[in-house]
Amino acid sequence: MSGVVRLFVAAWPNADVLRQIALIRRPTEPGVRWVPKTNWHITLRFLGDADADAVATRLGTTELPRAVARLGPALEPLGRRQIVVPVDGVDGLAQAVRSATAGIGERDRHRFRGHLTIARLQPNARSTATGHSIQTEFEIDEIALVTSDLQATGAVYSTIARFPTI
């Protein structure tokens, strides 16, 4: 796991939550690219190009608080380029991750806002999926250090380390 790679720290939803998200209608619309199920996650911190060993060392020595991720109540836009499921209940965990990894990777550019991205939009694209109701939750008992390999067909994510919450 050594070297500088494109990284983020995430919570992966459990199988039941994935099934519920998969029930969301995903219409074929111009300029809307639906994120594949294998990439659905809650980003706790995006690091960009960073040393994986340094991140793993910091996370491995940090007490990470257990959290209950509450998804919903409905799909909404996040900026102009994403459709997301809002996620509450993970702010404390995200803060612990950000504190543990301070000074590694990219500087945090935005205040944390819990979400799970289900679609990416090209400029000026719109989707009728916004507003679709979803309400579910899951307990986060571990987080993952994930690599992001950008491909022409979209990002390929690989978990390279897992860390339990307490």
CATH number at residue 36: 3.90.1140.10
Residue 2 has pLDDT above 70, yes or no: no
The pLDDT value recorded for residue 79 is: 93
The pLDDT value recorded for residue 57 is: 98
Distance of CA 4 to the CA centre of its chain: 20
User: Token pair of 163, please?
Assistant: 């860390």
26 and 119 Cβ atoms separated by less than 8 Å = yes
The pLDDT value recorded for residue 122 is: 96
Question: What is the residue range of 89's domain?
Answer: 4-164
Mean pLDDT of 41-69: 98
Cβ-count burial of 104 within 10 angstroms (0-12 exposed, 13-18 middle, 19+ buried)?
middle
Residue 125 has pLDDT above 90, yes or no: yes
| C-alpha to C-alpha distance for 97 and 87, rounded to whole angstroms | 16
16 and 69 Cβ atoms separated by less than 8 Å = no
What total number of domains does the chain contain? 1
Distance of CA 123 to the CA centre of its chain: 22
The pLDDT value recorded for residue 152 is: 84
**For the chain, how many residues are written?**
166
